[in-house]
Amino acid sequence: MKKIIISIGIILVVLLAVIAVSYPAGEEENKPEESQNTIEADVIMPTKVSRPGCEETDSCYIPSISNVKQGQTITWKNEDVAFHSVTSGIYGSPTPLFDSGHLDPEQKFSFTFDEKGSFDYFCTLHPWMAGKVIVE
């Protein structure tokens, strides 16, 4: 009877040791995924911009003008419930620099600006949606 109790005791100690060792490792595994999901967006597409009006207050993309240094990356996030895009150029006259395609709600798009200059962008679905990135 004593042996059985001792055996159970040993098994418990081993189990606790295994749990203690594997727990921090499991936490570490989750970290990269977590940090990817929490990458801050630099520019937001807020709700209701799929209807005209946001252009009157320059709030179709927030902020509508982004100032960055050469080599910096900008991340846009669609926080609306409709599709939007982030497309370089102006409506009716896109440039080949970048194009997110249709972004689903909650979807993000990133672009790295390697050249200096002023870069207009717009939404291919909503002509009134326009923004600008100034790279210095």
The binding site for Cu ion (CB under 5 A) comprises 84, 123, 125-126, 129
Q: Which of 112, 47, 59, 113 is nearest to 84 (CA)?
A: 47
Find the shortest distance in angstroms from Cβ 118 to Cu ion.
21
**Residue with the two structure tokens 């005791």:** 9
Q: Pick between residue 97 and residue 128 the one whose CB is nearest to Cu ion.
A: 128
Per DSSP, helices labelled H in the chain are 2-37
Nearest-approach distance from CB 61 to Cu ion, in angstroms:
9
Nearest approach, Cβ of residue 44 and Cu ion (Å): 13
Nearer to Cu ion, 91 or 97 (CB): 91
Contact 55, 130 (CB under 8 A): yes
